[in-house]
Structure 1
Amino acid sequence: MSSSEDKTCAICLGSVETGQGQAIFTAECSHSFHFACIGNSVTHGNYLCPVCRARWNDLPFVMQNLNLNANNSSIDHESFHDSRNLFFPNPQQQPPVRRRPVFEPEPLQFSDDEPLPAVTTDVSPSGLQNVSIKAVPERAAIAASESIPRFAVLVGLRAPSLSEDARQMQRAPIDLVTVLDVSGSMYGSKLNLLKRAVNFVVDNLGPLDRLSVVSFSTHARRIFPLRRMTEHGRDDAKRAVNSLLASGSTNIVEGLKKGVQVLEERHHHNPVASIIFLSDGRDTCNFGSQLPTFSNQRQPPQYLLLLPASICPGNRENQDHDQREIFPVHAFGFGSDHDPLTMHAISDSSGGTFSFIESYEMVQDAFASCIGGLLSVVTQELRLMVRSASHGVEIKSIPSGRYASEISDQGSQGTINVGDLYADEEKEFLVNISVPTLTNAEGEESERKTSLLDITCSYRDVVSKEMVQIDGDLVEIRRPESPSPPDLVVNLEVDRQRNRLNAAESIAEAQRMAETGNLLGAQSLLSNGRSALLASPSGQAGDGLCMWLEAEMKETEQRMGSRHRYEREGRAYALSNMSAHGYQRATTRGSRAAAAFGGSASFYSGDLSATDSASFNGYVTPLMASMVSKSQQLNKTEDATASTPQQLNKTEDATPNNSQQLNKTEDATPRQE
């Protein structure tokens, strides 16, 4: 449909632009009509979209006592603001009795956040265990006369667990802002499911956590200030969330600006601050209404330059003097019509994650997985340091993904800035070094060794608030005259990490190729990468991580099968994978939640086998798994006891591919390229 058709009512051919005194109805297929026009059509039994012929699940219902017609330009603002009473899933359903939402005027500055409770000095919760460090060389031995220009050492970190009895006291409280798209395309089941998901978040925040809610469509509004989630705070937050209405355009820039403003202007500060950002569309208010094409070479839209530097650090005018805090944005692309390039760029630059919610009913599980991590931060400001332990051992490279790393002192020292760690979260890095020949090969052969690396990490403990430094074991390697065959076998943990890095790079490169229109080349790259992965030592051993990576690459390859499919789902799927691998942190991808599993398998101990691959989920922590399981159980209970948004779509649920049919009416009509 052309842009001119988008602004025209297909029934009377009049303008449906806002601000002209007429009520507008936007259907779930995104087509808009004058309310009077479409209401009259529905009362005569026409339940299909006049434009695309899609069958609507949510129909407009015109109340007899409200005169809405094309000539009435004096509609009562209060009645129109409460227009949710005009929309019902079924024409025979009677309007429910609901209270009209009452919004307090926004202050000029958002320094009205609720104060934090005073720190009780006489309460001393049991402290956390320390972060654990492991180091595994690529091979067990190197010949004394051999020099290797590139030898890998795997360095792994694992955060401590949270005890069940002191969980709230052993993790960092959070200031969380949800920035929610309530534009017209969110009307109906999507908005209902979003409200349900945010209410789940509200229920799982603790009394020390604070929540603020920002909604945006054509304009953005803070509908709930930053308040503690006590019993009263939860009740008020839910009332605010449940009052949300869907209408208007999509102004992503203003929504994120408002969310950042809440955090930047708060008077009190919890240790962790994050933004959860959800949108189902593209910014239509800031030069972002055009669909990305193959010719744009993966360039995000220019309006990202309008975003605050605290979520897009590259927008800082003065890098030396602007030291504002960076707020991670965990972005959720909802359905098939969102802008994955933009949302991934925002999350990536801020240190957050990008998730692709392909199936609408999965939004609560996706939020559950995210907050399962955010509500379990146990260490902050973590920094990993590796130092050469012998003359001639030089650090060559540290492929650290999206974590900033640096090699200094002519290769004798390397650092990786990791930041926050969730409970039980693991990070693994390969440190590539050069190993020289052993010049003084004296003494017993069995005692000849070369010291490779000294490893330390420092971080802030969220319980004690003190900085902690942990020293790892010295990494050494034996230097016999002639290594035995077992000494030459590549360690499976190192091989597994190489496979992870190779898979991540293959997906990223395939995505770059797909953006230029080379879909066949992208598919071939992924196919060759899968073959190489399965032929590797860990792949031959049936390693669980390798099986998971292979399945992930295969799915990415399939979603690049055509231009239409790539634009609809492949782009977002690939970018959510890239986000997960870049930060070694779980994301929701496609029709699977980040923790939709029977349990989480860890590859930290290196004991995965082929039997683990079915339940293996990369980067999922136990608390993330627990939170998603809680969400799924709640959904089952609510579905069994009440009429839910999912039950309004029984016809879709009966089809084999309901996640696709729940998306917009592109499934009912061919998409116009």
Structure 2
Amino acid sequence: MWLSKWIKAKRALRLKLTTCLLPPRTIEDPPAPAPRNVATVSGSDLLAEDVDREVHVPYTPTPSSSGILLPDHSAKPGEKICTICLGTMRPGNGLAIFTAECSHSFHFHCITSNVKHGKQICPVCRANWKEVPFQSPVADKSHPAAQNDILMQRQPFSPRVDTDRQVSSIFQAAPEPAIFDDDDEVSSHQFGVSPGNSTSNTSNDDHSTGPVIVKTYPEVPAVPKSENRREFSIVINLKAPSAPARRPSEIDGPGFPLTSQTSRTPIDLVTVLDVSGSMAGTKLALLKRAMGFVIQNMGPSDRLSVIAFSSSARRLFPLRRMTDSGRHEALQAVNSLRSNGGTNIAEGLRKAAKVMTDRKCKFPIGSIILLSDGQDTRTVNNPNPNLTDYQLLLPVSVCCDNPSGSHIPVYTFGFGADHDAQLMHFISQKSGGTFSFIESETVMQDAFAQCIGGLLSVVVRDLRVEVMCIDRAVRLTSIKSGSYVTRLAESRRKGSIDIGCLYAEEERDFLVTTDFPIADDTCDETALINVKCVYKNASSEAPITLRSAGKVVIERPLDVGPQTESIEVDRQKNRLRCAEAIAEARVAAERGDLERATTIIHCCRMAISETRSAQAGDRMCVSLNAELLQMMSRMSNRQTYEVSGRAYVLSGLSSHSWQRATARGDSTENTSLLQSYKTRSMVDMVNLSQSMVLGGHRPSPTPSSSPGRL
């Protein structure tokens, strides 16, 4: 009797001491439970049964210094308790159990945390251990799927020494510094920055892959001398060079590139992850798996920082190079995430922007990835927010109209029926990123893979296109460039388009219209425009100038026989017609007039079907038709539009306005549509993601051929 009372008193005392002495955690809860018989869970090692079921852990609000809820670990009578975390050790609940040589048992992840800090005695009986649990990566580090797996082992005790840095515990949330300038240092050769500021048509940089290819397509090749033309169309097509060649040592498996060891330019990436209460269970498990894929596919020179947010936000770790130790720290941080609380997107973005602006070493290429499944519950309180309300969420440094002239693109991902698609689209548009709609949470990893497949293949940055009239009588009437900043001189003799970064082999098409008068009898041709490109290779600071990249001259005979419009021009007119119809239909749908919205889309389909390119079976027209049909079905009624139609439409607008691939809906549907704007590197990364299986890895595919320009 007295022994039972003594045990209860001891447990109560230990609980009070633990509550008082433990520092505030980085995220609301203790380490995530590991899958059955596995010590920890890596990005690709979630068991199918753990992913498929929703896991709801009961929470008891407990005040803490960080204002975060702590879980209740109260045990039932007769249940074993881990004396480190005071959590129950119920058989079959997915927790790995370690039984020491002194016969006392503990959660495996709890005791390994003790061992990592040099403790080799039993927390209960104080017996010295000769063998201790130890976490170590599998031997085959080169295997992309097994690279970050953690296996349970018994080894003679030896304090773990990390020569790069001591991995800080995610559970010990030290106060954040006032300035986030604690990023990993990088040397000048890691930037790939070349000295000098010379202007040339080619680059002297070691990573040069060739110039940007510029092509121009006039509406027709000839116009009669006696004809005065208005709105004469010209397509300007740009194509980025291929990715840098890889050395033989950089190939893993049968011809598949190991992305972490290429000679490409490194990047800075900050991921902002929603861990609010609605992320519990399957969503959070799949988010961890997707982040594991991102971590293992970043190279040792790339740097990553992770921000987790719910009711508040916290930086889990500074910008770290994804070396072996950096990956280990990143995986440890991501795998320990737990969910509860509200959704404070503004604070998450603010922390991410601060990481990027405060860093003491800055790579030329930096981006933010934001993922959320809910509505912002802190900053946007108006049930019908306007742009002013949304603007409160955006730090100035991420906006395209930032007075400093630079910005940080935010690539937003909204999934499920409850996320704020309008907000996510607004953030991406204002920052120069894209908005992806993940309808099925099971394709979250594929969506991330497509995004990083592009970010890890940037070959051109700060690209600017200048269009100048040649003949004195020629005038520019318009430059249709989607969301890219376009300027047209008051004289209408020149204009420009600010494009920014291009991924390897990525293309852009712009439709320019001109006016020109009747030609003189002595004039056999009219020089319309000249296209000039100025840009930088991704790894170089020296600007490259292509002065006469695309010169357009048309013939001016006395008479011209029957002519057909260029199929390239016709194709781009169809693309622009489709984007305009989607935007107009969206406005009608938001007013509640779904009938008019579907009518607008139907009329656009009919108009495109009668064009020359559509009747010739052009791939882009086939894709546009499939997209419009999908949107019509998602506008069939108000409920369907609210659940998925709005997000699908906004993701499509984002894709067309930037001419960049976005994830839309379920990646298994409309494969022809989803090839729009995809590059080879995106396709390869998605193929790699889809080849990953739970707990293993299928043979790596060979790089696919380019999907082609739709």
Shorter-chain TM band: 0.7 to 0.9
The counterpart of 1:98, out of the listed 109, 114, 118, is 109
Aligned match of 2:583? 508
Distance in 1 (CA, whole Å) between partners of 2:613 and 2:400 is 39
Aligned match of 2:621? 546
Does 2:441 correspond to 1:430? Answer: no
Aligned match of 2:54? 58
Q: Which amino acid aligns with 2:270?
A: V
Distance in 2 (CA, whole Å) between partners of 1:309 and 1:449 is 49
How far the C-alpha of 1:82 sits from its partner, in A, is 8.6
Question: Structure 1 or 2: larger helix share?
Answer: 1
For residues 532 and 86 of structure 1, do their structure 2 counterparts lie closer, same or farther at Cα, with a shift above 3 Å needed? farther
Gaps of 5+ in 2: 1-18, 20-51, 75-84, 97-107, 114-169, 195-203, 248-258, 700-710
How far the C-alpha of 1:302 sits from its partner, in A, is 1.0
Q: Render the CA deviation track for 1:47-83: whole Å, top value 9, x for unaligned.
A: xxxxxxxxx9435567xxxxx889x9999x9994597
Aligned match of 1:369? 450
How far the C-alpha of 1:526 sits from its partner, in A, is 0.1
Aligned partners of 1:580 and 1:587 also within 8 Å: yes
Distance in 2 (CA, whole Å) between partners of 1:272 and 1:83 is 45
- Which consecutive aligned stretches of 4+ in structure 1 deviate over 4 angstroms post-superposition? 59-62, 72-75, 81-88, 120-124, 166-170
For residues 466 and 87 of structure 1, do their structure 2 counterparts lie closer, same or farther at Cα, with a shift above 3 Å needed? farther
The counterpart of 1:171, out of the listed 251, 264, 275, is 264
1:247-262 superposed matches below 5 A: 247-262=340-355
Q: Which amino acid aligns with 1:629?
A: N
Does 2:298 correspond to 1:302? Answer: no
Gaps of 5+ in 1: 1-20, 22-55, 63-67, 317-321, 443-447, 598-613, 642-673
Distance in 2 (CA, whole Å) between partners of 1:184 and 1:215 is 13
Does 2:463 correspond to 1:452? Answer: no
Aligned partners of 2:691 and 2:697 also within 8 Å: no
Distance in 2 (CA, whole Å) between partners of 1:376 and 1:365 is 17
For residues 136 and 60 of structure 1, do their structure 2 counterparts lie closer, same or farther at Cα, with a shift above 3 Å needed? closer
Q: Render the CA deviation track for 1:566-602: whole Å, top value 9, x for unaligned.
A: 11100000000000000000000111279x95xxxxx
Aligned match of 2:149? none
1:162-241 superposed matches below 5 A: 162-165=243-246, 171-241=264-334
1:7-46 superposed matches below 5 A: none
For residues 289 and 361 of structure 1, do their structure 2 counterparts lie closer, same or farther at Cα, with a shift above 3 Å needed? farther
Does 2:246 correspond to 1:246? Answer: no
How far the C-alpha of 1:425 sits from its partner, in A, is 0.5
Q: Give the number of equivalent residue pairs.
A: 544
Q: Which amino acid aligns with 1:408?
A: A
632-641 or 196-205, larger mean C-alpha shift: 632-641
Distance in 1 (CA, whole Å) between partners of 2:460 and 2:616 is 34
Q: Which SS does the other structure have where 1:141 is aligned?
A: coil
Aligned match of 2:554? 477
Q: Render the CA deviation track for 1:310-331: whole Å, top value 9, x for unaligned.
A: 12456x7xxxxx4163110000
How far the C-alpha of 1:162 sits from its partner, in A, is 1.1
Aligned match of 1:412? 493
For residues 588 and 59 of structure 1, do their structure 2 counterparts lie closer, same or farther at Cα, with a shift above 3 Å needed? closer
Does 2:341 correspond to 1:265? Answer: no
Distance in 2 (CA, whole Å) between partners of 1:232 and 1:190 is 27
1:73-88 superposed matches below 5 A: 80=70
Q: Which amino acid aligns with 1:302?
A: D
Distance in 1 (CA, whole Å) between partners of 2:478 and 2:668 is 34
For residues 143 and 154 of structure 1, do their structure 2 counterparts lie closer, same or farther at Cα, with a shift above 3 Å needed? same
Aligned match of 1:119? 189
Distance in 2 (CA, whole Å) between partners of 1:353 and 1:478 is 41
Distance in 1 (CA, whole Å) between partners of 2:172 and 2:390 is 29
Aligned partners of 2:69 and 2:340 also within 8 Å: no
For residues 394 and 78 of structure 1, do their structure 2 counterparts lie closer, same or farther at Cα, with a shift above 3 Å needed? closer
For residues 515 and 279 of structure 1, do their structure 2 counterparts lie closer, same or farther at Cα, with a shift above 3 Å needed? same
Does 2:467 correspond to 1:386? Answer: yes
Aligned match of 2:152? none
Distance in 2 (CA, whole Å) between partners of 1:236 and 1:343 is 29
Does 2:590 correspond to 1:579? Answer: no
Q: Which SS does the other structure have where 1:103 is aligned?
A: coil
Distance in 1 (CA, whole Å) between partners of 2:209 and 2:445 is 30
Aligned partners of 1:253 and 1:304 also within 8 Å: no
Aligned match of 1:128? 209
Q: Which amino acid aligns with 2:533?
A: C
The counterpart of 1:328, out of the listed 395, 402, 409, is 409
How far the C-alpha of 1:172 sits from its partner, in A, is 2.7
Aligned partners of 1:162 and 1:170 also within 8 Å: no
For residues 69 and 255 of structure 1, do their structure 2 counterparts lie closer, same or farther at Cα, with a shift above 3 Å needed? closer
Aligned match of 1:621? 679
Aligned partners of 1:125 and 1:169 also within 8 Å: no
What root-mean-square deviation, in Å, do the aligned CA atoms of Structure 1 and Structure 2 show? Answer: 3.1
169-178 or 531-540, larger mean C-alpha shift: 169-178
For residues 74 and 245 of structure 1, do their structure 2 counterparts lie closer, same or farther at Cα, with a shift above 3 Å needed? closer
Q: Which SS does the other structure have where 2:95 is aligned?
A: coil
Aligned match of 1:631? 689
TM-score normalised to structure 2 length: 0.72
Larger Rg: 2
Aligned partners of 1:386 and 1:455 also within 8 Å: yes
Q: Which SS does the other structure have where 2:189 is aligned?
A: coil
Q: Which amino acid aligns with 1:628?
A: V
Distance in 1 (CA, whole Å) between partners of 2:335 and 2:94 is 19
Distance in 1 (CA, whole Å) between partners of 2:534 and 2:517 is 29
For residues 306 and 473 of structure 1, do their structure 2 counterparts lie closer, same or farther at Cα, with a shift above 3 Å needed? closer
Aligned partners of 1:288 and 1:303 also within 8 Å: no
For residues 547 and 531 of structure 1, do their structure 2 counterparts lie closer, same or farther at Cα, with a shift above 3 Å needed? same
1:646-665 superposed matches below 5 A: none
TM-score normalised to structure 1 length: 0.76
Aligned partners of 1:253 and 1:303 also within 8 Å: no
Does 2:535 correspond to 1:535? Answer: no
Aligned partners of 1:357 and 1:366 also within 8 Å: yes
Distance in 2 (CA, whole Å) between partners of 1:74 and 1:139 is 72
Q: Which SS does the other structure have where 1:472 is aligned?
A: strand
Q: Which amino acid aligns with 1:98?
A: H
For residues 281 and 79 of structure 1, do their structure 2 counterparts lie closer, same or farther at Cα, with a shift above 3 Å needed? closer
For residues 547 and 311 of structure 1, do their structure 2 counterparts lie closer, same or farther at Cα, with a shift above 3 Å needed? same
The counterpart of 2:541, out of the listed 462, 465, 471, is 465
How far the C-alpha of 1:437 sits from its partner, in A, is 1.0
Q: Which amino acid aligns with 2:348?
A: G
Distance in 1 (CA, whole Å) between partners of 2:73 and 2:187 is 40
How far the C-alpha of 1:303 sits from its partner, in A, is 4.8
Aligned partners of 1:176 and 1:274 also within 8 Å: yes
Aligned partners of 1:61 and 1:86 also within 8 Å: no
The counterpart of 2:220, out of the listed 120, 132, 139, is 139
For residues 60 and 323 of structure 1, do their structure 2 counterparts lie closer, same or farther at Cα, with a shift above 3 Å needed? closer
Aligned partners of 2:399 and 2:432 also within 8 Å: no
Distance in 2 (CA, whole Å) between partners of 1:262 and 1:141 is 55
Distance in 1 (CA, whole Å) between partners of 2:55 and 2:508 is 49
Q: Render the CA deviation track for 1:111-164: whole Å, top value 9, x for unaligned.
A: 100101342799973522000100010012111100111100110100000134
Distance in 1 (CA, whole Å) between partners of 2:550 and 2:698 is 54
